[in-house]
Structure 1
Amino acid sequence: MEQIRTGQDIDRRDLFENPTTAFRPSAYWFWHSIPTEEVCHAQLADFKQKGIGTILIQARLAMSRDDYLSPGYLVAYRAAAGIAAKLGLKLGIYDDYNWISGHAGGRTVVDRDDLRERHLFWMSSGDLRGEISGIHPPFTRKMGSDIFEWQYEGGRVEWCEWMVASALLHSSGEVGSLDEIVDVTTQTSVVRSDGVSCTYAFDGEIKDGQTITVFISARSTTSRLINYLLPEATVRFIDVGLDPLVEALGDLVPDPVGLVFYDQPAAGFYKWDQISGSLGNSLLFASTLPDAVLQNTGQPFAKTLLALLRNVGPDTLRLRAQFYAAYSALMNDAFSGTLRRWAERKGIALTGHEILPHISSWALNGGFTSIDPRVALAVDFFGIDAYRHETTVDSNNFVAQLAPKLGDSVARSNGRSRCVVETYASAERTPVRAAGQWELTLETMRAQAIRLYCLGTRQFLWHGVYQTDGRDNDPTPFANPRFDFAPGINFEPWWGYHDLFSQETARISAFIEPATPRTPVAILYPLHTAFAEGPRHGHATHIGAWCEGLLARRCDFMFVSEADLAKARIEDGQMLVSGLVFDALILPSVTVLETKKTVRALETFRAAGGVVWSSGDRLSTVCDATDPVAAVASTHIDRMPGGSDIDALLAGLPPSGPVITGHPADRLWQWVGYEDNGWWRIVLFNDGAAALESEIFFNDGFDCEVWSATTGKIEEAAAFSQLTVTLEAQEVRCLRLRQTTHGGAGDGHLSNQPALDLARAVSLVDGWSFAPAASAAFVPISVETGWETQGFADLSGTGIYRLALEIGDEADWFLELPDVATVVAASLDGRQIDRRGWRPYRFALGRLRPGVHSLELRVANTAANRYYANTPYLGDTADKSGLSAVPKLIPLTH
């Protein structure tokens, strides 16, 4: 937090050239055992050298739980923090063992069974007796036995203290109103129970056409997870899990240890044999919940529960929305609020991320599709973020996704901006997701980081760097560190090039920092619709369609909450809120709103000339309205929004700032923002394999500065009437410009492509030799296919290619490597020319005299062929390695 404020106060050019740790990559440091001081010295120095700015120590499943928070662990933790301080690294406290914050490696519930998770289960029947049985956590179970045994003592799911929370007698058919529901809780009791099931009995009469729905609460006897509705559970977690770390760190808090980081606090997502209705998982339960629900709904807790499962008349959606609002608020304050108050007493920042059901997706619930997010900290993102000092979100794999955009939105709504994005890799070529992606390349990682910055990220958090690379001949996920959401990037052969990635991406983030993003479109985050309708409703997929469609047309957007709309200022047909300016607002299949204030704000915006569009289902319920609700006046489409719809919306918006085009459009990423002084900042990224061109227009002319993220250098402004920017494959450009009038200013062209004489290109096909290590013998090799097909299938490391390069004509020569897997350093006559971690793989060899020169290429691949060998995770073919296309020698044009 302090680093960001400092970054805004110092000279912006210096910040760009030398980004602070707020902008540099951060990483989890996986501890698989208690490290020695020597290991801490060696690894932390290595992380520093590779450009990482912040480290979060995380004990993983390979470490014994007995070692976690032991005296030896705390001594090592303190030693590591001290070493980090001397190196100029920052540290954050990752708050738990493995993940799912709150359990403190199981210590929270030791001798405090009352803090273990307690859930509500239910069933509907026409019988006087019924049984709840077959309770299981499919979300946890599918991750394997090691995870299951870590979360549950003895690897068993067992329960106790079965109690009837509510019993309702109602029609088996349609229920017209709450008045038709009879509360028979006092006539219903548990008559038999054991650790896995219970039987209830109703002491009354069930007539034909009637059904009884019974809600029963039970507390787990074996789960190490806590009841997140209880603030005392969080207090206990702090006492046994966080305070020991802070006490051990002593004067190293708050510098270099300046934050605490929580990770996916969530109780089990249980299902059982008798589950039915609109709610997909069990609910947490605490004695405080009924009163909270009564206060928010005005209706008895028992009858409100039934509305969660089925239609109970015209108040159904309102009751659901208000129930989950009360439930979420109770959970938010009990866990996040308690943590925040503790963090502020310690003088450190609270950050971390909740479960994000949209992970790796644009649809709001397109990631974790097996869970109902309403039962966890997983829907009210604006409310959750209000408790944090800095926003963090989670992202999976290497595709553009919703998380950073929603993270930036909630941060701005709560008076901040941008976010940290944790990125982890899950396997795509095997069903065992924890096997990860040892085939990850630095180019893939870099491209994802740049996409994330364009979507609202400030800091890239990698999951993670490893203490050890694990064991051979053991494919066990999680317990073998090698397959704990690999890769551990410091064990990738390309790790030595990570500093190139760190420096460039940190500068991109620092370049974006001083500017406000141009966001013509706001999307209303439909919180109460999500509460009322559930994750399978159309609002989730409509959000995805709007987001992808807008980005495909390079139109930036931000999410706003109902509270944002209530405080928005309307001026000249624009909506000003959270420091942003919007010309249009989208309602994505919104059926339920919290308050009439939102409707009035939308009407005011539209009346002032603002653009309002809606799609899918129309508004039907406003929670604080007593009268029937009319649809919000908008341009409405009943279907999923398509390209023509988005084109029509954008055609009605006023132009603002520079105009950017690009060919082909689907490979050009951009970020556009403005400073207070009239300057604009633009990031352009070619996310493709071939060059593309982008054109920039800004009224009658503009000045443009070029800020090089590679070198940190800034070219002084030049005047243009329009500017064509050629972007090579994977090239990124940072440009700063302002509108001006320069008589006679002409068209400009920016390109890093040298003027090469392609007609005189020489293909270097023959004469190559290869060694798998510097100490090994060299053998002939083809450069038309990778080394994995030429007898080195298991080689993961640096292979050395050599060629006696004969130069016939004196000229300035360039070496082009069309296909490299994955990084390469080139040397000529014993002198290193340069290193490349991503395309284009081009090296300026300088002016060479005729004769024979010694060319050496050191190529590092990924670790996949080494670590996936003899496991089920390798796939059908070995990972591509080395050179697989003929290098070319090309002179500069005379």
Structure 2
Amino acid sequence: MSTTALPDWFQKPENRFRTAAFWFWHHLPTPQMCREAIADMKRAGLGCILVQARLAMPLSDYLSPNYLALCRLVSDLAEEHGLSIEIYDEYGWMSGHGGGLTVQGADHLRERHLFWTTGILQNGQTILQISGIDATFLDFLGPAGRRWTHEGGKARWGLWQIVAGGVIPSRTLLQPSQIRFLETSDSGCTVQIIAPDLPDETPVALFVAATCLTSRLVNYLLPETAERFSNRVYAPLRAAFPKAEAFFFDHPYAGFYTWNGQNSGSGPDAIHNSLLWDDSLIDAGINGIVLLDAVYGTDPQAASRRAYLFETYARQMHHAFFGTLRRWCDTHDIGLTGHELLPHVGGWNLLGGLDGIDARVSPGVDYFDIDTFKTQTVTDAADYSTQLSAILGDSLARAHGRTRCTVEQYSTGREVGRPSLHGQWDLSLSRLRAQMIRHILQGARRVLLHALFLPDAIHPNPSHQSDPRFDFAPGFNLQPWWEDAPDVLEEVARLSAFLEDGTPIRSVALLYPLEELRESSSTPDCAAHFGFWAEALMDAGVGYTVIDEKQISEETVCNGWLHLVSGQFDTLILPDVTVVRDPQTLSILEKFSHTGGRLLRSGKAITTSRNDRTRWIEGPVITTSEITRLIKENFPPPLLSIEGQPQRITLQRLTPSLLRIAIFNDSDQERTARLAPAPRERILLEWRCNTGVAMSPVCVPANTTFTLSLMPRQLSTFELSVTTAEIHCFPMEDKACLPTSYKKMLKDGWLFQPDPESRPVPIAVECGWEQQGFEYFSGTGIYTLHLSNFNRPYKETLHLVLPKIAGTVKCFINGLQIGKSIEHSASFLLPSSDQDLKITLHIRNTAANTLYPTMDSSLSPTTFLSGLLAPPYIWDGIAQIKQMVRCRAPPL
């Protein structure tokens, strides 16, 4: 087939489609480091960078004159190289503290929390204690994390205040005169309750507030917090990066404190962590009765009040913090983006990613509300399996009239059985590429890498407060395979540009169960049900969008369709939704169902509303194990499908007769994809993201199935259009594979060099170099084989096949590069020549062999495979024809 170049927007994608990256500064870099790093980022194909100070950097350096001067240099260098800049707004993360600058000289802005406990009256009184206050969530950061969040590394409490006390079963409040402090200290308090009129064994509850006097974390309930944060942090950073496109906030959250006595009494563990507190919450309606019900209540009325508490609490945080920052950014002509804490990160279950916390006490959970304050949507992704992040981010954006999102991609050690911070220095470029493609297909416009490191980060300084080598490794630019990354980043950017225009074909709306999450007194079933639906729909190739209840109104329902800002849907899924906020929503759902819309549900049989438990809709009880069956029964096969699951396909409608299709074989096996027949003739035009060119068009006759063969990890992108042109098409016999008549094994005679200057040594190709004396070597290994008197079969097309590789590979024949690959196997077309052959393979592994054995003696360097893992061979049977239809068309 002939090829032709495609438009510049596809060949050379804009920065908005290109991979972005955090640039970790574990110390202040030199100007020369900055110049070299920016040039390398441009070479790699990045589009945007965000400088981020890390825990290894002394706090005194953050926002110092030297820091800001280097930021200005980076800004100038980025502009010179055509790179975009966004401003990461923190030292580390947990946006708002500014490395302690927000609360410096403003102690009233330090985090203030509400604690509670219960006791039993005996002889008209009881004595209650709050003690053992701790935040275990940051334990994975070690002592450095404690020193970062708390001055002196320890939380000290003060400014104790009695907020309320009450009788749990009767929902009655005690009088302030009945409650008094016996003792307060920097670690807790002791309180006496005197109620002689109440009988013995009466359970009572106490609510007290205190400020963490040593915390650098802030109180997000106060608008002054964001005002001071923007003045002390945003203002100098804006001056240092005058051309920046947006500020980027990260993970603002409240301390996740637990304490002794928190779960005492007969009530459930309804709220798992302390709440941020300010007396303005009382003015907003969060009184003692609401607190009693929210923490200790078990009936529907208590659940409603719990939802009311979290709705009011979140609204105040969102407007005080994000609203104030957005106003500042609007005034200073810069965007606001970033992401909040996402408990689903790394998976599909809404609460399955981060254990041991109650995300409702942070500014998160109502992602749709927070997204109203952003100019771009960002979500967080952990590790390298499929997950919710991108499709949720795209859904948030579309709910607010935008499209697509940025997905921040970071690496933890959890996925591979290590501590989080140890990360994945053994991450391959192939795994990274696959994850980036998944995100783009699910709705990301770009991926944000976490992160690039300074060049000396792999040589730790003992004086650092944390080890930069194991700060969410890898530092992508320090991987040996980073030299091969430009091709991958270019391919992914072209994929993103290809999918920018048009509208995704999605007819299914998956309801985000916010009210259920707020009302819950434990981990609700809806979190898991939502995850099962989200993943099963994705794997089945059913296009869907996540929506929230606020998008549903009387005007949105018409003739069995939901007409929303985020799309038009004929199916709405309720994932174990037993409660919605507004009773009107139930009426609308009934109207939707009665007028022809498909209403699917799983979990409980009845759905009610917050303040009207007498109104409800009902349906069949469906368990999570039946969700896949329900999808098969209710949705027809997609237009394009891959044999087996999972489906990794995106269809984008540009016009009624023109689609863009992206399909990815997310497996290690060759698979077949089939385009369903249609009553009219169609044209399939392939746009190749790896080369930037289009192949000559293929004609698909009417009522004909078109079959496509996909190699492992192959990405293919097409435009599919209906045509009336006179293009002759004819069927062709399906052939599985051309017969193989020649195969020469290349098992012996290989030489190896860990660098070009070293003396070549013999090496076996049945196992990697880590098994043969080079276990601590990370870099480019050079394999060489001389084939003298090579008897080439007459006029045969031959390929060099590498059946199993660990690392990226470049193949040279007689000194000329003939191909490269980042996958676990590769095949290269050999040049037509009768001369002797010198085969040279440059294989780059990961940095794991060098770094992990120095950190943990239990991790043997032989764990990390490198180089050739099976003997190469030459053969003539690589060509395969899988199309059931071949069409004749003029070359472009």
TM-score scaled by length of structure 1: 0.92
Match of 1:591 among 572, 575, 578: 578
Does the 8 Å contact 2:583/2:615 carry over to 1?
Answer: no
Q: 1:631-690 CA deviation, whole Å, 9 max, x = no partner? A: 24x454266543222222325xxx8xx622322333x41112211352112111111112
Whole-angstrom distance in 1 between the partners of 2:329 and 2:293? 38
Residue of 542, 560, 573 corresponding to 2:529? 542
In structure 2, the partner of 1:7 is: none
SS of the aligned residue for 2:102 comes to helix
- Unaligned residue ranges in structure 2 (runs of 5+): 264-268, 880-892
Q: 2:228 aligns with which of 231, 236, 246?
A: 236
Residue aligning to 1:676? 655
* CA-to-aligned-CA distance 1:538-582 (integer Å, 9 cap, x gap): 010110111122222111211111121117633442222124221
Letter in 2 for 1:153: E
Corresponding residue number in structure 1 for 2:770:
788
Alignment partners' CA distance in 2, 1:869 and 1:638: 46
Q: Say which of 822, 836, 844 aligns to 1:860.
A: 844
Quote the residue 1:363 is aligned against: 349
> Is the counterpart of residue 165 in structure 1 residue 163 in structure 2?
yes
Provide the aligned length of Structure 1 versus Structure 2.
Answer: 856
Q: Distance in 1 between matches of 2:412 and 2:733?
A: 38
Structure 1 window deviating more from structure 2 (428-437 vs 522-531): it is 428-437
Which letter does structure 2 place at the counterpart of 1:194?
Answer: S
CA displacement at 1:744 relative to structure 2: 8.9
How far, CA to CA, are the matches of 1:12 and 1:336 in structure 2?
Answer: 42
| Stretch moving more, 874-883 or 777-786 | 874-883
Paired AA for residue 609 in structure 2: V
Cα offset, 1:619, TM superposition: 4.4
Structure 1 pair 779/314, CA: closer, same or farther in 2 (3 Å)?
Answer: closer
Cα-to-partner distance string for 1:69-110 (whole Å, 9 max, x where unaligned): 000001010001100100000011000001111111111111
**2:252 matches 1:265:** yes
Q: 1:240-259 residue pairs with structure 2 within 5 A?
A: 240-249=232-241, 253=242, 255=243, 257-259=244-246
- Picking from 35, 44, 51, the partner of 1:50 is 44
**C-alpha distance after superposition, 1:271-312 (max 9, x if no partner):** 001112311000000121112235xxxxxx110001111226
- The amino acid of 1:230's aligned partner reads L
Checking the alignment, whether the CA contact within 8 Å between 1:723 and 1:750 is kept in structure 2 is no
Structure 1 position 722, deviation (Å): 2.5
Contact 2:387 2:535 in 1 (8 A): no
1:483-517 superposed Cα distances (whole Å, 9 cap, x missing partner):
00000010000000110111000111111111211
Superposed displacement of residue 337, structure 1:
0.7
Q: Secondary structure at the match of 1:637?
A: coil
Alignment counterpart, residue 753 of structure 2, candidates 763, 766, 771: 771
One-letter amino acid matched to 1:735: F
Shift in alpha-carbon separation, 1:386–1:12, aligned structure 2, 3 A: farther
Separation in 1, partners of 2:815, 2:418? 46
Moved more, 126-135 or 795-804: 126-135
Cα deviation digits, residues 287-344 of structure 1 (max 9, x gap): 21112235xxxxxx11000111122644112111111111001001111111111111
CA contact (8 A) 1:478 1:484 kept: no
TM-superposed CA distance for 1:620, in Å, is 5.0
Compared CA separation, residues 587 and 454, structure 1 to 2 (3 A):
same
SS where residue 631 of structure 1 aligns?
strand
The one-letter code matched in structure 2 to 1:706 is E
2:32 to 19, 22, 38: 38
Quickly say closer, same or farther: Cα 1:193–1:39, change in 2 above 3 A: same
SS at match of 2:797: strand
**Within 5 A, what are the aligned runs for 1:357-396?**
357-396=343-382
Alignment of 1:603-614 (within 5 A): 603-614=590-601
Alignment partner, residue 889 of structure 2: none
Query: Which consecutive residues of structure 1, in runs of 5 or more, have no partner in the other structure?
Result: 1-10, 295-300
1:848 paired with 2:815, answer no
1:708 corresponds in structure 2 to 688
1:729 and 1:840 in contact (8 A); partners too: no
**1:73 aligned partner:** 67
Provide the rounded CA distance (Å) in 1 between the counterparts of 2:800 and 2:733: 22
Deviations along 1:721-757, whole A, 9 cap, x unmatched? 3311110011000011124568996577999x99776
- For 1:635 and 1:591, the matched residues in 2 are separated by 13
Task: State the distance in 2 between where 1:401 and 1:711 align.
Answer: 29
Mapped partners of 1:635, 1:521: distance in 2: 19
Q: 1:568 to 1:710 in 2, by over 3 A?
A: farther
Give the fraction of aligned pairs with identical amino acids, expressed as a percent. 34
Superposed, 1:371-770 pairs within 5 Å as 371-428=357-414, 429-471=416-458, 479-534=466-521, 536-566=523-553, 569-619=556-606, 621-625=608-612, 628-632=614-618, 634-637=619-622, 641-650=626-635, 659-666=639-646, 668-700=647-679, 701-720=681-700, 721-740=704-723, 746=729, 758-770=740-752
The 3 A distance-change label for structure 1 pair 748 and 776 is: farther
**Which residue in 2 is equivalent to 1:192?**
183
Task: Check the 8 A contact 1:435/1:873 in 2, yes or no.
Answer: no
2:2 pairs with 1:20: no
SS at 2:89's partner residue? strand
Matches within 5 A, 1:288-307: 288-293=280-285, 301-307=287-293
Matched residues in 2 for 1:629 and 1:636: separation? 19
CA shift, 1:520, in A, is: 2.4
1:97-151: CA deviation from partner (whole Å, max 9, x where unpaired): 0111111111111111100000000001014211100000010124311111111
1:325 and 2:311 equivalent? yes
SS in 2 for 1:265: coil
Measure how far apart 1:242 and its partner are: 1.3
| TM-fit CA distance, 1:477 | 10
SS in 2 for 1:688: coil
Letter in 1 for 2:770: E
> Which residue type is aligned with residue 858 of structure 1?
H
Q: What TM-score do you get using the length of structure 2 for normalisation?
A: 0.92
Cα distance in 1 for residues equivalent to 2:6 and 2:825: 29
State the match for 1:881 in structure 2.
866
Secondary structure in structure 2 of the residue aligned to 1:307: helix
Q: Is the 8 A contact 2:57 2:464 kept in 1?
A: no
User: Deviation of residue 214 (structure 1)?
Assistant: 0.4
Mapped to 1, the partners of 2:586 and 2:421 lie a distance apart of 46
Q: Work out whether 1:122 is the aligned partner of 2:116.
A: yes
Cα displacement string for residues 576-617 of structure 1 (whole angstroms, at most 9, x for unaligned residues): 212422121111111221112311221221121000012212
State the Cα distance separating 1:13 from its structure 2 match: 3.8
2:54 to 50, 55, 60: 60
- 3-state SS in 2 of match to 1:339: helix
Is the aligned partner of 1:131 residue 2:129?
yes
CA deviation vs aligned residue, 1:397-419 (integer Å, no higher than 9, x gap): 00011111111111110111111
1:492, 1:863 within 8 Å by CA — same for their partners in 2?
yes
Letter in 1 for 2:28: I
CA distance in 1, matches of 2:138, 2:767: 43
Change (3 A) 1:620 1:185: farther
**Residues 1:12 and 1:476: Cα distance change in structure 2 (over 3 Å):** farther
Secondary structure in 2 aligned to 1:33? coil
CA contact (8 A) 1:430 1:873 kept: no
Deviation larger for 709-718 or 767-776: 709-718
Q: CA RMSD in A?
A: 2.4
Contact kept in structure 2, 1:519 and 1:580, CA below 8 Å = yes
Equivalent residues of 1:478, 1:485 under 8 A apart: no
Identify the range of structure 1 (150-159 vs 694-703) with the bigger mean alpha-carbon deviation: 694-703
